[in-house]
Amino acid sequence: MSFPSELARQYIDGEWLTGNGAWDIIDFNPYSGEKLCSVTVATAAEVDLAYRAAERAQREWATVGSYGRRAVLENAVRLVGERGEEIIELIVDELGGTRAKAEYEVRVALEFLREAVGQAIRPVARLLPSADDGKENRVYRLPVGVIGVISSFNFPFLVTMKTVAPALALGNAVVVKPHQNAPIAGGGLVARIFEDAGLPPGLLNVLITDSAEIGDSFIQHPVPKVISFTGSNRVGRHVAAVAAGQFKRTVLELSGNSALVVLEDADLDHAVRAAVYSRFLFQGQVSMAANRILVDRSVEKDFTDRFTMAVAALPSGDPRDPETRIGPVISAFQAEALAVLVDGAIEAGATALVRGRTRGNLVEPTVLTGLPEGSPLLEQEIFGPVALLVPFDGEDDAVRLVNDSPYGLSGAVHTADAERGVRFARRVRGGTFHVNGATAQDDPAVAFGGEERSGMGRLNGEASVDAFTTRKWISVQRGRVGFPF
């Protein structure tokens, strides 16, 4: 596998092609600034070619036996295992993710692939009872057909794989549009793995492009029946609106404003480690990251002292260094935006307990406290290494603060009493919540998704089956029956 030249192209109907657009996407290493590759963008005409190829290939793929589909996915598992080190290096170079983050992404992507292997051979029909004598009700799970996938830059290999693998396992074809900051890890790399795994041409297509070139054609095209989008709330709203106008199903994993809650009986050392990981994984560029760290006032000082010491000690720098925990953010624009955000918060009265420097795209961690309730910063997603500490007075106040957000993706609570934590979690609005763990978690067997502005629909396990299949009821009447007229 060569990076990036062989993979920096469009992949349509089993062919690696140069796009026909008028401009190039330039892929940079966000730490060194080195140009990794350039990709001439795909046009709306190539969107049509990819979807039509997927539509043709899917008809035959749907007739392939479950074990035939499983064999391809088993090959993909083997290839990712064999090429793991190359994939890790690619993620580090293209995204500026630390080695620890890249290792985690590859490990979890492998688990999602293994889950898809099992999904390929799970039951696809049920026999249900009927009120009518001699009648059988059969409910079949059928592939929806073609799925359009728009993936994010933060965990591009994982996010693309967790959608593509179950979709293929269930008999669908897929067209992927990776984020332009991760065209290889989120696009070309996945295509190469499945190509080498023996996936027939046309079943997986990758279009590296941008809405400035193709407009809404990727969403509006008549072929895809489901659009799976991972990204910002702002873009997700647009995707949902356009797809709804075409009666398409959507799975939207959007922005978050997660809270990690520390109750008065928590194991503070453990809670500190969970909070540091939850906030600063991949420099905080994670929708599940703990934007807000809520601490019971009775343990606020003790927790704050330990937390700020741990944050200040996080090594920042070259993501290729195994000791580095904070690498660069994805772009100079993001680095500048974070600096403006922090400066504005301090001018508005917040106190910086830790104030990181900004050097190029490298943004060191910052910890802010003293934000007034109702501060806009407490209500938005912060896509960077900035932690907000907020005290509360008792459990009811904590629940109120957690729910004081238009988002509902993830969260965590730390307490010595696990069942107390479960009761707390049940009071919180949102799609996922964790007791004595991190806010950033994903599991291939458990439905994952958000509520409110954090999205709609679910993926993983049986939820992926729901997302990528449709139910068909076929009844069989044995013997003659009477009719009303």
Distance CA 38, CA 9 (A): 9
DSSP string, 153-185: SSSHHHHHHHHHHHHHHTT-EEEEE--TT-TII
Q: How many helices, marked H, and strands, marked E, lie in the chain?
A: 16, 24
Fold match between domain 5-254+454-473 and domain 258-435: no
pTM attached to this predicted model: 0.95
- pLDDT tens for each residue of the chain, 485 residues long: 455 678 999 999 999 999 999 999 999 999 999 999 999 999 999 999 999 999 999 999 999 999 999 999 999 999 999 999 999 999 999 999 999 999 999 999 999 999 999 999 987 889 999 999 999 999 999 999 999 999 999 999 999 999 999 999 999 999 999 999 999 999 999 999 999 999 999 999 999 999 999 999 999 999 999 999 999 999 999 999 999 999 999 999 999 999 999 999 999 999 999 999 999 999 999 999 999 999 999 999 999 999 999 999 999 999 999 999 999 999 999 999 999 999 999 999 999 999 999 999 999 999 999 998 888 899 999 999 999 999 999 999 999 999 999 999 999 999 999 999 999 999 999 999 999 999 999 999 999 999 999 999 999 999 999 999 999 999 999 988 888 88
Tokens of 72: 């391809």
Domain boundaries, the chain: 5-254+454-473, 258-435
Distance CA 224, CA 208 (A): 17
Tell me if 446 sits within 8 A of 457, measured CB to CB.
Answer: no
Who contacts 370 (Cβ-Cβ below 8 Å, separation ≥6)?
Answer: 349, 350, 351
Burial category of 38 from C-beta neighbours within 10 Å (exposed 0-12, middle 13-18, buried 19 and up): middle
Distance CA 384, CA 279 (A): 9
**Angle subtended by helix axes 84-95 and 156-169, to nearest 10:** 130
Who contacts 313 (Cβ-Cβ below 8 Å, separation ≥6)?
Answer: none
Class of domain 5-254+454-473: alpha beta
* Cis before 129 (ω within 30): no
Class of domain 258-435: alpha beta
Distance CA 258, CA 289 (A): 6
Tokens of 442: 């994903």
